[in-house]
Structure 1
Amino acid sequence: MKTVMTSISFFSQRSTAVIAQDLLGRKLTYASSEGIVGGYIVETEAYLGEEDSTAHAFKGRRSSFNEALYGPPGTIYIYTLRGLYLFNLVAQEKDVPQGILIRAVEPCCGRDLMERHRPKSGFELTNGPAKFMEAWGIRDKKLNGTLIGTGPLSLTLRQRRQPQQIIAGPRIGVSQRGTATFAPLRFYVAGNPYVSNLRKREMQLTDYGWKK
Structure 2
Amino acid sequence: MPIEPHSEARATHPPRGPFRPLPASLFSSAALEASPLLLGQTLVRRTEAGEIRSRIVETESYGGVLDKGSHAYGGRRTARTEIMFGPGGPAYVYLIYGMYHCLNVVTGEADNPQAVLIRAVEPLTEEDERRMRFFRSIKSKKTADLSGGPGKLCRALDIDKSLNGCRLSVPTGPLYLEAGDDPHSLPILCGPRINIDYAEEYAAKPWRFWIKDHAYVSVNDKANPPKPFYL
Q: TM-score higher than 0.5 here?
A: yes
The residue aligned with 2:211 is 189
The residue aligned with 2:161 is 141
Gaps of 5+ in 2: 1-18, 222-231
1:129 matched to 2:150:
yes
1:97 matched to 2:117:
no
Structure 1 residues 28 and 6 mapped into 2: Cα distance closer, same or farther (>3 Å)?
A: closer
Contact 2:30 2:63 in 1 (8 A): no
Contact 2:26 2:37 in 1 (8 A): no
- 1:144-183 to structure 2, matched below 5 A, reads 144-150=164-170, 151-157=173-179, 159-162=180-183, 164-183=186-205
CA RMSD of aligned residues (A): 1.9
Q: CA deviation at 1:6?
A: 5.3
1:59 matched to 2:81:
no
1:187 alignment partner, SS class: strand
- Identity of aligned pairs, percent? 35
The residue aligned with 1:70 is 85
Q: CA deviation at 1:198?
A: 3.1
Q: CA deviation at 1:161?
A: 4.8
Q: Deviations over 1:74-106 (max 9, x none)?
A: 111001001210000111012211100000001
TM-score by length of 1: 0.84
Q: CA deviation at 1:7?
A: 5.2
The residue aligned with 1:202 is none
TM-score by length of 2: 0.78
2:132 to 109, 114, 122: 114
Equivalent-residue separation in structure 1 for 2:151 and 2:88 (angstroms) = 22
Contact 2:22 2:177 in 1 (8 A): no
Q: CA deviation at 1:29?
A: 0.9
Contact 2:30 2:114 in 1 (8 A): no
Count of matched residue pairs? 193
2:33 to 15, 18, 33: 18
Which of structure 1's runs of 4+ aligned residues deviate more than 6 A?
none
1:73 alignment partner, SS class: coil
